[in-house]
Amino acid sequence: MLSAWVSVVPQLPQDTVRRADSEAEPESIPNKLRTVVIDAGHGGKDPGCVGRRTRESRVVLKLALQLGRKIKREMPNVRVIYTRSTDHFVELAERSAIANRNRADLFISIHCNASPSSSRVYGTETYTMGLHKTQGNLDVAKRENNVILQESNYQQTYKGFNPNSPLAHIMLANYQHAFMGSSINFAEKVERSFRRHADRKSNGVKQAGFLVLWRTTMPSVLIETGYLTNPTEELYLMSEDGQEQIAGAIFKAFAQYKEEIEAGG
């Protein structure tokens, strides 16, 4: 049933059409979804991007907690772990370490986007680890990675990674390769769900080098839930209805992904 349904769904725009060959995937690809780590981006001294009325750290915390509540309510057997549940600063490396320590089966990092050049840009994007294909994708990763400059030992923690260097981002692309197929699968479900259930403009599934995904040892995505620099989208993301729709859409994608991998892929 599921495969028939999938075949009639139009493909979302996507940077990488190449999927990891399922035969090449190692045994470590989860076939049960027991533990999910939900990562609200930024926090504390790092507000993330800012709109006219709100800041990213505040919006994404609400979205993360709401998504976690839905999963706990509907799926009591799934363990939900937050990288932060209050407004405090967590280093990027610690976020992925939390997921690895808890042997998470899926890592969901939640963010809001910003366009420095135009307030007209809007829509959602879900990223997986990989090589950026456009300057725009690289810019998003640079902005999200720049926070390490506020960490005290960043040169040791990230082995000299320079968040301003395009080459450094290209080198990051090789990580997470084993989980690329599963990560893209979940990312596609998130973007499709945003279109169907939250009436969002989906800008598709994209790839770039994100430090927060770098060392995770499970399928991982980074969701840009909308642009705070677009006044309409900012109001939507701040509103209770908007937050309910966004968290609900991610939850529906999560439920579908869980069902699919537990049914054997």
Return residues touching Zn ion (CB under 5 A): 41, 48, 111, 144
Closer CB to Zn ion, 111 or 142, in the complex: 111
The minimum distance between CB 55 and Zn ion, in angstroms, equals 10
The minimum distance between CB 113 and Zn ion, in angstroms, equals 8
Closer CB to Zn ion, 50 or 178, in the complex: 50
User: Which two tokens mark 188?
Assistant: 């596609």
Closer CB to Zn ion, 49 or 80, in the complex: 49
Question: What is the C-alpha to C-alpha distance for residues 227 and 219, in angstroms, rounded to an integer?
Answer: 25
The minimum distance between CB 224 and Zn ion, in angstroms, equals 8
Closer CB to Zn ion, 46 or 191, in the complex: 46
* Among the listed residues 70, 95, 100, the one whose alpha carbon sits nearest the alpha carbon of residue 193: 70
Q: Which residue has the tokens 């395009």?
A: 166
Burial profile 156-194: b = 16 or more Cβ within 10 angstroms, e = fewer = ebbeebebeeeebbeebbebbebbbbbbbbbbbbbbbbb
Question: What is the C-alpha to C-alpha distance for residues 180 and 161, in angstroms, rounded to an integer?
Answer: 22
Measured in whole angstroms, the distance separating CA 226 from the mean position of its chain's CA atoms is: 12
Element (H, E) at 135: helix 135-145
Q: Which residue has the tokens 């040791």?
A: 156
Closer CB to Zn ion, 111 or 169, in the complex: 111
The minimum distance between CB 45 and Zn ion, in angstroms, equals 14
Q: With beta carbons less than 8 A apart as the criterion, state whether 243 and 237 touch.
A: yes
Q: Count of residues for the chain?
A: 265
Closer CB to Zn ion, 55 or 258, in the complex: 55
Question: What is the C-alpha to C-alpha distance for residues 40 and 108, in angstroms, rounded to an integer?
Answer: 9
The minimum distance between CB 215 and Zn ion, in angstroms, equals 18
Q: Which residue is nearest to Zn ion (CB)?
A: 111
The minimum distance between CB 30 and Zn ion, in angstroms, equals 25
Measured in whole angstroms, the distance separating CA 33 from the mean position of its chain's CA atoms is: 17
Closer CB to Zn ion, 70 or 142, in the complex: 142
The minimum distance between CB 51 and Zn ion, in angstroms, equals 13
Question: What is the C-alpha to C-alpha distance for residues 67 and 122, in angstroms, rounded to an integer?
Answer: 22
